[in-house]
């Protein structure tokens, strides 16, 4: 079936067409761009929520629990799972992880996993693009589950309206070293597995970190959950709603979305430029030659880069 | 003192000159480039070892212990500490972390901390450049201590001759989800705090991961340590030496260094191009205008990027 037919079916709410369009986006290239071009005008309605945290923190369980609650409230849900440890994305080889049990057989829930490279942090451009498709498909909420912390990538800010950083009492040591990153990124903190020792201490640390925000800025709430039993999920849902309300009242939601679009265009331009450079035989030959000279010690990497860059001025074609 | 004078003193082994040149590199810009240009011919002699792992895993303690052992063996040491939780880099605000006690007052040890952004993974270009300076200064070994895992950045491969991934029994959950990344990156695994429960299980998991390497490839050894007591450090030193010997015998060391130089030139060219683009008023105005149109919904980010990139062809100035 060609892209135009799929797009027409997609517009009528055809789940299979949605799935195939996502596959086209995943394959990349010209088809991916035309799909995303065509769908862009329909995006912007969904509330995007990113769940990030280390493996084993319970992101999938939280995603499952939140999905249930959103469904009860009558909202449709899309899930993009980028965490390599997520059962959604074919992970969980060794452990017994929770399955997204409630999603099975509910047409109001659409789950899509991303084949993650397993070694990069943050939300990939692909995950954002799949979120676009789910948004255009009319999902009220799009959850993006992604591996994070160790390092929290500040780039994640551009992926969602609300960023939920999920930790467990075991994350205490890391929290200390991640203060700045967490502070920049989190809109909400969740201390999951809060029935374990150390939960209150971690929550207190996170509350202290949240309190370092500038006056007038959003103060990230800290919610304790035991996701496996559903404990704390109502509070989390309430906190997410409060964040959305605050953004709407302060006009911050639009500003963040504009920043995200800006960042996205910038990244796409750089990507296109990089490909063009890499695919130009003459430019590649010059680069290879220069690397030889660097390896031979006859020129430094810095001088080599200067000489190459001299021929690559950004606006030279005008 | 001007850069030329500092370079002349640096060549005579003047520690203060080395420190000032590193500050110049840290400030960036034209001076940084001329320092690095001038020093490049002197680099390539030091053995570079990266220590990466989550906060609280004991990287500083291991770095301290290894430094001691290298010094006993008569080798001079440079340390670049990029981990925001490292006591070297002014971290450890909340906890009582080990200090680099043995380094104090030993002219054979030069420690330099990098003001990390605290939210990005991997080894920064700046850390690599400071390692260059320490290499050019004649240090036999340069240790690079960096935050990693959560996500292991594959870029770290280009930062050192040996990559040591440091974990603790508490990291078990994460290891499972990081298999691919760890496998790509690690030359050696260290299970620190090996007197805690779960150390043997983690070591067995890591050995299994290491065994997935292709035949003929280096099989990363797994070393258990209790760094606070110095236990296992001799085994770690031996394993590091074995890795160096293997690289020399197989000719892999040179190949990796060439790949690293290649990657470095590529990154520098992209960086220069990005700056040139961003500093060009006309190009910026076009970009801003296009972002407005995207935000207004009249053009998609993909079409916007295509239109902008059309004017930015890489070799257009020839």
**Tens digit of pLDDT at every position of chain B (318 positions):** 899 999 999 999 999 999 999 999 999 888 999 999 999 999 999 999 999 887 788 998 999 999 999 999 999 999 998 865 555 444 333 223 334 555 566 788 888 887 654 444 567 788 899 999 999 999 999 999 987 654 556 667 788 999 999 999 987 766 766 666 666 789 999 999 999 999 999 999 999 988 888 888 999 999 999 999 999 999 999 999 999 999 999 999 988 999 999 998 998 898 888 888 888 888 899 999 999 999 998 899 999 998 898 877 665 444
The CATH number for A42-250, chosen from 3.40.47.10, 3.30.70.20, 3.40.50.2300, 3.40.50.300, is 3.40.50.300
Mean pLDDT for the stretch of residues A23-29: 91
Chain A nearest-CA distance from B13, in A, is 22
Cβ neighbours of A249 (radius 10 Å)? 9
The reply to whether residue B153 touches residue A120, judged by beta carbons under 8 angstroms, is yes
CB contacts, 8 Å: B318 with chain A: 282, 311
For the segment A166-183, the average pLDDT, to the nearest whole number, is 74
> What integer pLDDT is reported at residue B182 of this predicted model?
67
Q: Residue B306 in 3-state DSSP?
A: helix
Of B174, B276, B302, Cβ closest to residue A54: B174
The CATH superfamily assigned to B43-250 is P-loop containing nucleotide triphosphate hydrolases (3.40.50.300)
Q: Which chain A residues are within 8 Å of B302, Cβ to Cβ?
A: 33, 36-37, 40, 268
**What are the extents of the domains in chain B?**
1-41, 43-250, 262-310
3-class SS of residue A110: strand
* Closest chain B C-alpha to A72 CA, distance in angstroms: 32
Determine the Cα–Cα distance for residues A114 and A107; give it in Å rounded to an integer: 20
Whether A180 sits inside 8 A of B117 (CB atoms) is yes
- The residue among B104, B109, B56, B115 whose CA lies nearest residue B81 is B115
In order of A116, A162, B63, B192, the CA distances from B57 in angstroms are 26, 30, 12, 7
Residue closest to B179 by CA, chosen among A90, A145, A137, A46: A90
Tell me, what's the pLDDT at B93? 31
Share of chain A above pLDDT 70, in %: 82
C-alpha–C-alpha distance, residues B119 and A220, integer Å: 18
pLDDT, greater one: A151 or A77: A77
Alpha-carbon span B180 to B167, nearest angstrom: 16
The token pair at A304 is: 């080599």
CA angle A208, A242, B150 (to 5 degrees): 50
Looking at the complex, report in whole angstroms how far the Cα of residue A290 sits from the nearest Cα belonging to chain B: 9
Residue of B nearest to A93 (CA): B176
Interface test with B, best of A157, A302, A308, A311 (most B CBs within 10 A): A302
Give the pLDDT score at A314. 62
Query: Cβ A181–B153 below 8 Å, yes or no?
Result: no
Give the per-residue pLDDT at B103: 59
Give the nearest partner residue to B301 out of A95, A261, A318, using CB atoms: A261
Lowest mean pLDDT of A97-101, A141-145, B39-43, B257-261, name the range. Answer: A97-101
Q: How many residues in total does chain B contain?
A: 318
Q: How many CA atoms lie within 13 A of B27 on its CB side?
A: 12
pLDDT in the model for residue A123: 74
* B185 interaction partners in chain A (CB closer than 8 Å): 119
Per 3-state DSSP, what percentage of chain B is helix, strand, and coil (rounded to 5)? 55, 10, 35
Average pLDDT over residues A101-129: 71
Question: Is the confidence at residue A302, as pLDDT, over 60?
Answer: yes
Q: How far apart are the first and last CA of chain B?
A: 40
Burial (CB < 10 A; 0-12, 13-18, 19+), residue B2, is exposed
> Given an 8 Å threshold on Cβ–Cβ distance, is A305 in contact with B265?
yes
Interchain pair B276, A170: CB under 8 A: no
pLDDT in tens, A35-79: 999 999 999 999 999 998 877 889 989 999 999 999 999 999 999
C-beta atoms of A84 and B180 within 8 A? yes
The secondary structure element, H or E, covering residue B142 is strand B141-147
CB A122 within 8 A of CB A89: no
Q: What is the pLDDT of residue A93?
A: 31
Mean pLDDT (whole number) for A282-307: 91
pLDDT at position B187 is 95
Do the Cβ atoms of A55 and B85 come within 8 Å? no
Mean pLDDT over all residues of chain A? 85
Question: What percentage of residues in chain A have a pLDDT greater than 90?
Answer: 55
DSSP code at position B53: E
Which residues on A lie below 8 Å from B157 (Cβ)? none
Contact criterion met (CB < 8 Å) for B317 and A318:
no
């Amino acid at each position: 079936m060609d892209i135009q037919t799929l797009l027409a079916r997609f517009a009528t709410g055809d789940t299979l067409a949605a799935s195939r369009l996502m596959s086209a986006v995943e394959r990349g290239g010209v088809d991916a761009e035309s799909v995303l071009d065509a769908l862009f005008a329909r995006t912007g309605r969904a509330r995007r929520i990113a769940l990030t945290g280390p493996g084993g923190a319970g992101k999938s369980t939280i995603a499952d629990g939140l999905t249930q609650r959103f469904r009860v409230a009558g909202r449709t849900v899309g899930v993009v799972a980028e965490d390599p440890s997520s059962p959604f994305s074919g992970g969980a080889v060794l452990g017994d992880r929770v399955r997204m049990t409630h999603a099975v057989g509910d047409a109001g829930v659409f789950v899509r996993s991303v084949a993650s490279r397993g070694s990069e942090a943050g939300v990939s451009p692909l995950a954002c693009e799949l979120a676009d498709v789910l948004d255009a498909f009319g999902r009220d909420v799009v959850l993006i589950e992604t591996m994070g912390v160790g390092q929290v990538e500040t780039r994640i800010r551009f992926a969602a309206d609300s960023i939920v950083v999920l930790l467990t009492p075991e994350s205490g040591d890391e929290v200390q070293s991640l203060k700045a990153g967490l502070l920049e990124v989190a809109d909400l903190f969740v201390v999951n597995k809060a029935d374990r020792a150390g939960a209150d201490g971690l929550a207190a640390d996170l509350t202290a970190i949240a309190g370092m925000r500038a006056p007038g800025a959003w103060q990230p709430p800290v919610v304790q959950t035991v996701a496996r039993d559903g404990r704390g999920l109502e509070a989390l849902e309430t906190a997410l709603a409060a964040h959305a309300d605050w953004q709407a009242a302060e006009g911050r939601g639009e500003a963040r979305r504009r920043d995200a679009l800006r960042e996205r265009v910038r990244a796409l331009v750089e990507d296109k430029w990089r490909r063009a450079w890499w695919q130009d035989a003459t430019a590649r030959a010059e680069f290879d030659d220069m690397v030889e000279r660097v390896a031979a010690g006859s020129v430094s990497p810095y001088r080599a880069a200067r000489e190459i860059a001299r021929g690559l001025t950004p606006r030279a074609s005008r």
